Amino acid sequence: MGRKVAGDGWKTASSVLLTGVMTASFTLAVAIPASATATSRRHHHAITRQAAHFAAPLYKGALLEDADSGRVLYAYNADMEWPPASMAKMMLLLVASEQIAAGHVHVNDPVLISERSAHTMGSRLGLKEGQVYPLGELMKAALVKSANDAAVAVAEKVGGSVEATVRMMNERARTLGMLHTEYHTVDGLPPRPTHDVDRTTAYDLATVARAIIRETNLLQWSSQQQIEFDNGVCMLNNTNHLVGHFEGCDGLKTGFTFMAGFNVTATAKRGDMRLLAVILGAPSNAQRFAQAGKLLEYGFDRYTALSLLRSGEALPVQVRAQSGGTIHPVAARDLKVVLPKADVSSVKLVYDIAPTIDGAVHAGEPLGRVVALDQQGPLTEITAICPIEVSPAAVELGASEAFGATAPPSGANHRQVNQ
């Protein structure tokens, strides 16, 4: 075992802190204020619901989302601009992961620690100029320990310089639709105390977190309470104290500066449902975790994930070619909704699919859509596609077998109204 490196780099013994976190998580009222329970904002085409009435908030902003769809389950000042602090590293690591996926760099590439990296302050590993570490190990340290010196080293490797990587981070933010986020650093460290220069919102933090969950393997590191750095050179203690103490929590990132206060973007999965919680500006280290845990527990208690269709499942409708023959469209992807448990029985599927087609149809071509709705309106939708190639010659045959999907497979969903 190597030497242990302390958690967030911003104080207090973890054993004392965790006791406070767990005590708070069971004794504090859920901080979801009545004044912010209902929101008219549609985020990621999601319909937000009214939450129950709770005590005054112990944070400046908060958000709870379904991580798969981005559906907002609760929001409080979620569009308020706020310094991300070390949560800026989420975008750095998303960009780095995408550069690795594109083959521009590799996870085992050696990274030479520069003078700039070695002299970066705040939460840090204590890297020395001239040392060499694998890129992946430095990414791990930036994520799990929130090491600023490791983050600078990652940026210099991925983009060639910190400044170039900041530009890449901002470009990626634009493509993700993060219109209220602007990065000036790769680590969230202010150039001087109380002068944070990065800006974001809870909505935007959830957006980058969802991209990380969807596109990278970073949760393999963020899910560990403690993890080795460089084959045991030292041990990294996770700054996210929900990991290992909140059921299903496997990420994602903490952040603290004097101006931003205590912040966390946390995710947890139970069964088929993954939730994301963002807490901004909590008054203490313990409270950021207690309040994030309360939001997540609220979501798991009240909501459920309802799987309605599987990708490739034949739909209980027929499309007839103009010259004869029938096709059973299939679901282009899984159809799943997250909704209050009390509303499950009201969910219906509507098949908005034309009954006839004219001419050739290519495999995968849209034939219509399937809409999931409840008593308050649409929840989400997927595309219904043609499962096979339908050529003009096949249409001329007028034989159903020419279309290769004359009936749904056994067990397919034939209901117009689901659950």
Query: Left if phi > 0, otherwise alpha if psi is -120 to 50, otherwise beta: which for 336?
Result: beta
Residue whose tokens read 């050179």? 233
Q: Using CA atoms, how far apart are residues 253 and 247, in angstroms rounded to an integer?
A: 17
Contacts of residue 80, defined as CB under 8 A and 6 or more positions apart, other chains included, come to 60, 61, 201, 202, 280
Residue 56 falls inside a structural domain: yes
Does 419 reside within a domain? no
The answer to whether residue 46 sits within a structural domain is: yes
| Block residue for tokens 């009954």 | 355
pTM: 0.80
Convert the pLDDT of each residue in 265-303 to its tens digit. Answer: 999 999 999 999 999 999 999 999 999 999 999 999 999
pLDDT at residue 323 in the model: 64
> Do 314 and 291 belong together in one domain?
no
Annotate 171-188 with b (16+ C-beta within 10 A) or e (fewer).
ebbeebebebbbbbbbbb
**Per-residue pLDDT, 390:** 77
Q: Are residues 289 and 317 in the same domain?
A: no
56/106 same-domain check: yes
Judgement on whether residues 387 and 259 belong to the same structural domain of the protein = no
> Is 418 part of a structural domain of the chain?
no
Please identify every stretch of the chain with a pLDDT value under 50, giving residue numbers as ranges: 1-53, 394-419
Domain that holds residue 285: 3-302
Neighbours of 309 (CB within 10 A): 23
Per the structure, the count of domains in the chain is 2
Please tell me the predicted confidence (pLDDT) of residue 388.
82
Residues 235, 372 within the same domain: no
Task: Give domain status of residue 359, yes or no.
Answer: yes
Residue at 409 is within a domain: no
